[in-house]
Structure 1
Amino acid sequence: MNPSPFAQPYPTRRTVLRAAVAAGATLPLLSACVTGGKDDKPASAAGAKSATNPLGVKEDAALEVVIFKGGYGDDYAKKAEGLYTQKYPKATIDHKGIQKVGEALQPRFVANTPPDVVDNTGAGRLDLAALVGAKQLSSLSELLDAPSFDDPAVKFKDTLLPGVVEDGTFDGAPLVLNFTYTAWGIWYSKPLFASKGWTYPKTWDEMIALCATIKAAGIAPWTYQGKYPEYMNDPLLSMAAKTGGADLIKAVDNLQPNAWKADGLKAAAEAFAELAAKGYIMTGSEALSHTEAQAAWCQGKAAFIPSGSWLEAEQKDVAPKGFDMVMGAVPARTGSDKFGAAAIQAASSESFIVPSKAKNIAGGLEYLRILFSKQSARSFAESAGTLPAIAGATDGLTLSSGLGSTRDAVNAAGKEAFTYRFRTWYAPLAKAVDDATGELINKRATPAEWADRIQKAADALAKDSSVKKYTR
């Protein structure tokens, strides 16, 4: 089996940019080494199912938990383990907090002796596509349909934010569960706007008018992380999705003919070309790294910057006191959009898996049921400053300006939170889009040339029989 580009849920940029590695930097598994015979799978511990034990956990079975100990640390995982042992006091838990997940666990998957639950995150993580192809992951269907840990009257799957189940689904099977939730939008300093009397725009016409006002005040309206033009893709593609709705997103992801020439994409490309044509992007932005562009924005050299919801945490040592950054939804391009004005691009990350050859599959699933409880997720939000993928987990908490605005944006979007999948399914197409957008916003390509270039790449990919195709 050839490892597919679909190796990590969409929002990997935080990990990628902080670690300065390429997206999809996974540790591949050779299928010949991981496809064991029928008798390779050891008997997994199981107990009697009941209303209080819906997954049939064997109460005295040991549980091994491996957590990626990165920027979030692993205390949140240990707290969930404490809740597990409160419920199953006879169980012992072997906790491992590590950085190089793939390097540590690949030999164990090959030997069919994996842990019971794994946080497969960080540079050098295991290749999920390879694990999926080798049938090394347990289905999470039983967990999704089980009662939630907080409220037995509510199914586990109904406690998750929009798109979380889909983000972890491979060829129709739910195999991965992502713990954090990332939203993308346009960021600005709330005090700056208040001091100038500026109102965040809801339509693109309002954005263009405000940009003229901002420029007249001696501030660049926009900057962006120039060396990574994918940052500008997010608002552009968000605008297109608002115009064309779910049909446009599916056409793009499913590599349909002429998908990139849809009216919604054309109008969005024209909108961002207009930013460049009118001089509303800070001079020199193209040459800036993400840290340089974000620092310039924090210094007040530009009013807007596009980014995901990790921005506040990334800038905590750079933003001046009282900067109070907030995220706004991408303004609508037209007055007849298929998604509402509050719709946002959002997806989940921080991937948890339960190996199919684990000794305690039921315990691994139960651990995830506890980890994804409001009690556990709330603790994580307070310590990590990141939105968990559990609905209502941050309700009632006093949040920072950035995280609070992200929470509010996600709540306002509701079921109109959306995401594209092509970036993780097809790495070559993602690069083609990034390159084309870089040319567009630096006035080296027209919107029509932008669409033609990307469509050509999509068509070539669609015709390539060596590339596994996914549909939604």
Structure 2
Amino acid sequence: MGTTSTSNGANGEGFSRRNLIKRSAALGLIAVPTMGFLSACAASGSGDDQERQKGEVTKDNPFGVAEGGTLDVVIFKGGFGDQYAIEWEKLYKDKWGPEISHLGTQEITGKLQPRFNAGNPPDVVDNSGAQQIKLDVLHKNGQLADLTELLDAPAPDDPSKKVRDILVPGTAEKGFIGGKMHSLNYVYTVYGLWYSGKMFQDKGWEVPKTWDALLAVMQDAKKQGIGGLAHQGKHPYYINVMIMDLIAKTGGLDAMKAIDNLDPKAFAGSAAAKQSIEAVYEIVEKGLLLPGTNSLDHIESQTAWNEGKAVFIPSGSWLENEQLKQTPEDFDMRFLPMPVLPGSKLPFEAIRAGAGEPFIVPEKARNKAGGLEFLRMMCSREWSTTFAQQANSLTIVQDGVDKSVELRPGTTSAIEAVEACPVDQRFDYYYTNWYSEMDESIRTASAELMAKRIQPNEWLKRAQAAVDKAAEDPESKNNKRP
């Protein structure tokens, strides 16, 4: 990965990552630090049959980390890779001196569920990806550490502040389950559609802001043998980005909150949900999908999109880093907020943006104090900048990136979209963390819809049934959005 680059958009002007970072300072997402590096290998801790690692609690050591010992780190090696964590681990080792075990994997559940069951989980886990261990299940089983003490700990760069004071407003709440924080969602992620600036320039298309304009581009593409929309069919999480964004923009923040708050009319009685799901299904009915996309996984569909076989694809802002090897140099990756339907309560500029990539500390971790300190150090400018350099994405740390760091075109356009969107028009769903079974049921219904095995009315019925079932859980009363 180079340190500088420019990209040519539809207007033919070059975009400098350095200029983007300067503009991003206005968002409270950027500032100045240092960096580091490391590798590690194997080990396992055990929570119950071995003594916990614990040192003396001091002003500079708020969790009582013991020097030396071990630290067991597991990272989801997906769109962001895991090199950033390897870099972090050297910085941690320099400070505390443990032997560090590092595992980068996409098989989070497969690798870790047996360890949680046996009571010897790792000390820090980036619990993400398609095989993420369900956070609500871990919480119900008492296997997640309460991270309130992390929020109340001194900020690593300014001990006069607490960690909670240096996070982008509203992002800590994404990790709340049952009224308390149990995961640190570290990456400031933007969700929506993505396209090639070069393709748009070559075809003479205008960037669509309305749903009708979006369909018009797709229909013109179809005439030229290009799919209008690719989606990651084997992982319907991605098409739900499109569906749920459209519902929130059509019905406004109240429509989004109704879903998170398990309203008995969240889907079945929602005009916004009905209008949105029918609009998405229109793409299917008109044959505007990339042929075969329903059977592709995320890398296969995204690579086909990079090859110019489709115009749009739904994803979060990890897409650029995940597709580095497959993206042509002149591709000019661009982010597009979800185009709006007639009568939409939120404007085109409104975007889903918020905290993602949940990091957890298991309650039975052998080095629980070390795990908490690892998360606290993640909130430093140094570690935040390391992440931006390695993963081409921003974090939830305010003033968290060195202003000299330059970002790639897709990240640049995502930041521009955030900058153009007023804070009160940014939205984010919580149900995916709060109610994993509900989330899975809606994903399954969406996969059936995109394959034309069910109609929009049936999708609404199944989605509402998933909401109603989640509402039967007594713990759901603790998860409410105002």
One-letter amino acid matched to 1:323: F
Q: What residue number does 1:10 align with?
A: none
Taking structure 2 as the reference length, the TM-score comes to 0.74
Residue 96 in 1 paired to residue 101 in 2?
yes
Q: What residue number does 1:405 align with?
A: 413
Cα deviation for residue 262 of structure 1 reads 0.9
Relative to structure 1, the CA distance from residue 112 to residue 326 in structure 2 (aligned partners, 3 Å threshold; closer, same or farther) is same
One-letter amino acid matched to 1:221: G
Say if 1:182 and 1:309, in contact at 8 Å, map to a contact too: yes
Secondary structure at 2:340 match in 1: coil
Relative to structure 1, the CA distance from residue 359 to residue 192 in structure 2 (aligned partners, 3 Å threshold; closer, same or farther) is closer
Cα deviation for residue 218 of structure 1 reads 4.5
- CA-to-partner distance for each residue in 1:255-296, whole Å, 9 max, x for gaps? 321210312211211221232333332344334443333233
Q: Structure 1: 5+ residue runs without aligned partners?
A: 1-32
Cα deviation for residue 57 of structure 1 reads 4.5
Structure 1 residue corresponding to 2:57, chosen from 36, 41, 47: 47
Residue 67 in 1 paired to residue 77 in 2?
no
Say if 1:178 and 1:348, in contact at 8 Å, map to a contact too: yes
Q: What residue number does 1:139 align with?
A: 146
Say if 2:151 and 2:164, in contact at 8 Å, map to a contact too: yes
Cα deviation for residue 376 of structure 1 reads 0.9
Q: What residue number does 1:156 align with?
A: 163
Q: What residue number does 2:431 align with?
A: 422
- CA-to-partner distance for each residue in 1:26-60, whole Å, 9 max, x for gaps? xxxxxxx98x8xxx9969433333xxx372646x6
- CA-to-partner distance for each residue in 1:284-334, whole Å, 9 max, x for gaps? 433444333323322222211112233223333333331122221111224
Structure 1 residue corresponding to 2:320, chosen from 312, 324, 329: 312
Relative to structure 1, the CA distance from residue 109 to residue 444 in structure 2 (aligned partners, 3 Å threshold; closer, same or farther) is closer
Residue 388 in 1 paired to residue 398 in 2?
no
Q: What residue number does 2:339 align with?
A: 331
Q: Structure 2: 5+ residue runs without aligned partners?
A: 1-45
Structure 2 residue corresponding to 1:349, chosen from 351, 357, 363: 357
Cα deviation for residue 446 of structure 1 reads 3.9
Q: What residue number does 1:25 align with?
A: none
* Distance in 2 separating the partners of 1:177 and 1:423: 15
Say if 2:185 and 2:355, in contact at 8 Å, map to a contact too: no
Q: What residue number does 2:207 align with?
A: 200
* Distance in 2 separating the partners of 1:112 and 1:233: 34
Residue 238 in 1 paired to residue 249 in 2?
no
Cα deviation for residue 360 of structure 1 reads 6.3
Query: Mean Cα displacement is larger for which, 103-112 or 388-397?
Result: 103-112
Query: Mean Cα displacement is larger for which, 194-203 or 402-411?
Result: 402-411
Structure 1 residue corresponding to 2:298, chosen from 290, 295, 303: 290
Say if 2:210 and 2:348, in contact at 8 Å, map to a contact too: no
Q: What residue number does 2:12 align with?
A: none
One-letter amino acid matched to 1:332: V
* Distance in 2 separating the partners of 1:304 and 1:437: 18
Say if 2:209 and 2:340, in contact at 8 Å, map to a contact too: yes
Query: Mean Cα displacement is larger for which, 72-81 or 309-318?
Result: 72-81
Query: Mean Cα displacement is larger for which, 76-85 or 136-145?
Result: 76-85
Secondary structure at 2:395 match in 1: coil
Cα deviation for residue 358 of structure 1 reads 4.8
Secondary structure at 2:191 match in 1: strand
* Distance in 1 separating the partners of 2:210 and 2:425: 17
* Distance in 2 separating the partners of 1:208 and 1:275: 7
Cα deviation for residue 353 of structure 1 reads 1.3
- Pairs aligned (count): 428
Say if 1:440 and 1:450, in contact at 8 Å, map to a contact too: yes
One-letter amino acid matched to 1:146: A
Say if 1:66 and 1:119, in contact at 8 Å, map to a contact too: no
Cα deviation for residue 92 of structure 1 reads 2.8
Q: What residue number does 1:166 align with?
A: 173
Secondary structure at 1:300 match in 2: coil
* Distance in 2 separating the partners of 1:322 and 1:103: 38
Residue 433 in 1 paired to residue 442 in 2?
yes
Say if 1:187 and 1:328, in contact at 8 Å, map to a contact too: yes
* Distance in 2 separating the partners of 1:415 and 1:264: 20
Taking structure 1 as the reference length, the TM-score comes to 0.75
- CA-to-partner distance for each residue in 1:96-153, whole Å, 9 max, x for gaps? 1125777887788788777655555678776654553454544322321334223445
Structure 2 residue corresponding to 1:459, chosen from 450, 463, 468: 468
* Distance in 1 separating the partners of 2:116 and 2:226: 54
Identity %: 37
Say if 2:172 and 2:184, in contact at 8 Å, map to a contact too: yes
Q: What residue number does 2:6 align with?
A: none
Q: Which has the higher contact order (CA 8 A, sep 6+)?
A: 2
Relative to structure 1, the CA distance from residue 106 to residue 268 in structure 2 (aligned partners, 3 Å threshold; closer, same or farther) is closer
Query: Mean Cα displacement is larger for which, 95-104 or 161-170?
Result: 95-104
Cα deviation for residue 157 of structure 1 reads 2.0
Residue pairs, 1:226-265, within 5 angstroms: 226-260=233-267, 261-265=269-273
Say if 2:340 and 2:347, in contact at 8 Å, map to a contact too: no
Cα deviation for residue 372 of structure 1 reads 1.9
* Distance in 2 separating the partners of 1:101 and 1:223: 26
Secondary structure at 1:259 match in 2: coil
Q: What residue number does 1:301 align with?
A: 309
Secondary structure at 2:252 match in 1: helix
Query: Mean Cα displacement is larger for which, 277-286 or 301-310?
Result: 277-286
* Distance in 2 separating the partners of 1:451 and 1:228: 19
One-letter amino acid matched to 2:55: A
* Distance in 2 separating the partners of 1:41 and 1:245: 51
Say if 1:147 and 1:155, in contact at 8 Å, map to a contact too: yes
Residue pairs, 1:114-125, within 5 angstroms: 117-120=124-127
